[in-house]
Amino acid sequence: MKVHLKALGCRLNEAELEQWSHDFRGKGHAMVTDHEDADVVVLNTCAVTADAGKKSRKLMNRLYRENPEAKLVVSGCYATLETDKVAEHLGVDLVVPNPQKDQLPQLVMDKFAGNTMPLIAMEPGESSLFSRGRQRAFIKIQDGCRYRCTFCIVTVARGEERSRTIKDILEEVQRLQTQGIQEIVLTGVHVGGYGSDLDTTLYNLVKAILDETDIPRIRFASVEPWDLPEAFFGLFESPRLMPHMHLPLQSGSDSVLRRMSRRCKTASFRDLVQQARSSIPGFNITSDIIVGFPGETEAEWQQTLEYVESIGFGHTHIFSFSPREGTKASRLADPVPDTIKKQRSLEMHQLAERLKQEFAMSQIGSEVAILWERQKQEAGLAKYSGYTPNFMKVETSVSNTVLLENRIVDTSLDAYNSGKQCLTGSVK
C-alpha cells in the first residue's frame, strides 16, 4: 500500500505519525507525501477546541473529495469523542479511537492489505522523517493524564496515563539518530507525569537518554509546571538538553487558576521560572494563556496582564476560551461575552509580541549553535531557517555553495526582524 499520514493539532499527534510511519515501513508499505497518490489516508484529528473539531471535519471532507478511491482512516481526539458521528461521515472507512492508536498500522493492514508482506519489506529504505527533510523528531513517551483541568477535553479523549518503557524510548532515539535525526522532542499528553505507572520519572528518562545515547539535541513539548522536581534543572548542565521549556500557565490570577482546577499558583510558577533562569543563562520560558475563562472579572484580567509582563515569556500561545461539551468549564456560570474576549485577546497579543521582541533583542550579539533546517533559493543565495538552543527562530543567507541543512553550526545573532518575528544571523 501507499500510505499518507496527516495530523492536526498537537506535537503528540505528530509523534504518533512518526511511530505509524515506522510501523508501516517495517511491513513494506510506502509512505507518500501527497494524499492524492495514496491508497490509504490516515488522519490524526484534534479536539482541543470547538474550532479544532470543525477543522477535523473539513479536512475529512477535503481528503475524501480529492482522493475518493483511497481508504480514509480517522483517529485522534475528535474521532474518539465523536466515534459514531465520524464512522458515519461520508468517505470514512475505518475509525481508530485513541485507546487503539498503538495498533493502528496493524488494524489498517488487517483491514485493507491482508497479512501478506510485500517484497519491498525485504529492501532497505530511508526513514520517512529524513525523506521529508525533517531534522527534528517527536517522540511519544506517554499518553493520557490523571488530572482533570476543568477546561480540558483532551484528558477525556486520551484516558488514563500510560508510559512507554525507558528501554523502548532509548531504542527509538538510537534508531532515529542512525537515520540522521539531530534533535528529538519528548512529547505526550502529560509529559511531566511520565513513569507514574512504571515506578520511574521524567528525570530518570532524560538522564538515561543523556547517558545512553549520543543524540545531539533534546527538547520537551509542553510540561505542566507542577511536575518538575527541585533537581530537574540540574539536568540542563548538559549542553545537549536545550535551554527552553514550554510551561503552560493559563492565567496569571490565582482565583481563575482555582476555577480551572490547575495545580499551580502564580507564586510557585514564578519560583520555578527564577530557578530555571538562575541555573541556565538565556533559558527561554514559553507558555499558554486562556482569555475569557468563565467568570473572569476585569480585576482578574488585569492581574493576568501584569503577571505575564512581570514573567516576560519568550513566546505566548493565546487562546480565547471556548466551551467543550463534556468538560466542567462548559457548565460554569458567568460566561465572558465574545466582545470582551476579543478585546482581551488583542491586549494579550500586543503584550506577548512586545515581550517576544524584548527577549529576542536580548540575544543579539551572542554566538550560538543553530540546527539549520530548511532552505529556499532567492536572488542567487540560499536562505536557511533554524532554531537557537533556546528555541528562537533564526534566518540566514549564504552562497549556494554552502550547505547548511541538517547541520549544527555556530552562528552570530545580528538583528531582529520584527516583521517576520525572527532573528537574523551570520554563519561562522
**Residue 409 sits in a domain of what CATH number?**
2.40.50
The mean predicted confidence, pLDDT, of the chain is 88
Residue 102 and residue 24 share a domain: yes
Contacts of 240 (CB under 8 A, 6+ apart): 210, 215, 216, 217, 218
Average pLDDT in the 212-239 region? 92
Residue 128 pLDDT > 70? no
In Å, how far are 140, 158, 164, 356 from 18, measured between CA atoms? 9, 18, 15, 31
C-alpha grid cell for residue 99?
Answer: 485507546
Residue 212 domain boundaries: 129-361
Residues 374-411: tens digit of each pLDDT:
778 877 889 999 999 999 999 999 988 888 989 999 99
Residue 174 and residue 31 share a domain: no
Band of pLDDT at residue 118, cut at 50, 70 and 90: very low
C-alpha 255: how far from chain center = 28
C-alpha grid cell for residue 57?
Answer: 471535519
Contacts of 298 (CB under 8 A, 6+ apart): none
The per-residue pLDDT for 293 is 95
Of 262, 178, 196, 190, nearest in space to 220 by CA = 190
pTM: 0.77
Flag the least confident range among 23-27, 80-84, 121-125, 198-202. 121-125
Better-predicted residue by pLDDT, 119 or 293: 293
Task: Give percent of the chain with pLDDT exceeding 70.
Answer: 95
Residues 133-165: tens digit of each pLDDT:
468 888 999 988 888 888 888 777 777 889 999
Residue 383 and residue 298 share a domain: no
Which residue, chain included where needed, has cell 494579550? 348
In Å, how far are 10, 17, 68 from 230, measured between CA atoms? 28, 33, 54
Residue 269 and residue 199 share a domain: yes
Cα-atom radius of gyration of the chain, to the nearest Å? 22
Residue 384 and residue 335 share a domain: no
**Residue 335 sits in a domain of what CATH number?**
3.80.30.20
Residue 88 and residue 68 share a domain: yes
- Strands 408-417, 367-378: pairing is antiparallel
Q: How many beta carbons lie within 10 A of that of residue 118, not counting itself? A: 13
Residue 47 and residue 103 share a domain: yes
Please work out, in degrees rounded to the nearest 5, the angle formed at the alpha carbon of residue 55 by the alpha carbons of 137 and 24: 40
Q: Which of 339, 361, 383 is the last residue of a domain?
A: 361
Residue 119 pLDDT > 60? no
CA 61 – CA 157 distance, rounded (Å): 22
Which residue, chain included where needed, has cell 510551561? 247
Number of domains in the chain: 3
Q: Which of 344, 361, 378 is the last residue of a domain?
A: 361
Q: Which of 334, 361, 388 is the last residue of a domain?
A: 361
Residue 61 and residue 19 share a domain: yes
Residue 266 and residue 248 share a domain: yes
CA 117 – CA 110 distance, rounded (Å): 11
Of 367, 369, 370, nearest in space to 412 by CA = 367
In Å, how far are 23, 26, 108, 111, 191 from 121, measured between CA atoms? 11, 6, 17, 19, 34
Residue 337 and residue 203 share a domain: yes
Residues 24-51: tens digit of each pLDDT:
888 888 888 899 989 999 999 988 777 8
**Residue 83 sits in a domain of what CATH number?**
3.40.50.12160
CA 163 – CA 418 distance, rounded (Å): 41
Residue 122 pLDDT > 50? no
Residue 335 and residue 191 share a domain: yes
Residue 392 and residue 340 share a domain: no
With the CA atoms of 98, 104, 110 and 115 taken in that order, what torsion angle do they form, in degrees rounded to the nearest 10?
-150
Provide the H-helix boundaries in 219-293. Answer: 254-260, 266-279
Task: Note whether 49 and 8 are within 8 A (CB).
Answer: no
For residues 152-167, one letter each, b for 16 or more C-beta atoms within 10 angstroms of the residue's C-beta and e for the rest, the string is: bbbbbbbeebbbbebe
Residue 364 pLDDT > 60? yes
